[in-house]
Amino acid sequence: MWRDFGEYILNEVGDEDVRIAEVAVGKFDMIAQMLSSKENITLIKTDIIPADESTIRDDITNPDPKIYKGIDIIYSIRPPSELQPHLVKLAQKVGCQLIIKPLTNEDLNTPGVKMKLKNFKRASFYILR
């Protein structure tokens, strides 16, 4: 399932030069590793409590806009429901695509914004363009 999720993002990007941000990365970085292995992708990872030095400290409830300048895609894997409205707000402010991979069987908490459910191979997630 995780490889399918990463493959979907890679298919979206193609060969274009893009900037991608993973928000609330935590300690699971399989997708980040997959994406950052491509030369055309500049990837940043953020979290309120960075797990390592490759992750930028940022609070999604009060994000630093400089970090997200020029971002084309924001994605988040299993973000807590209370952070989901903040992800939507940030993506709208930046003007980029948002992909949320919630916990299985979890409803989204994006009041007033309808995200599209996407099934790609064995992965399912929500997209806001």
User: What is the rounded CA–CA span in Å between residue 24 and residue 79?
Assistant: 7
Pinpoint the alpha helices (H) of 14-80. 30-36
Q: Does domain 2-128 have CATH number 3.30.559.10?
A: no
pLDDT at 2: 87
pLDDT tier at 111 (50, 70, 90 boundaries)? confident
Average pLDDT over residues 97-110: 87
- Coil vs helix vs strand at 53: coil
Cβ burial 23-56 (10 Å sphere, 16+ → b, else e): bbbbeebebbebbbeeeebbbbbbbeeeeeeebe
Average pLDDT over residues 56-68: 97
Write down the pTM of the prediction.
Answer: 0.94
Burial of 68 (0-12, 13-18, 19+ CB in 10 A): buried
Percentage of the chain lying above the pLDDT 90 cut:
83
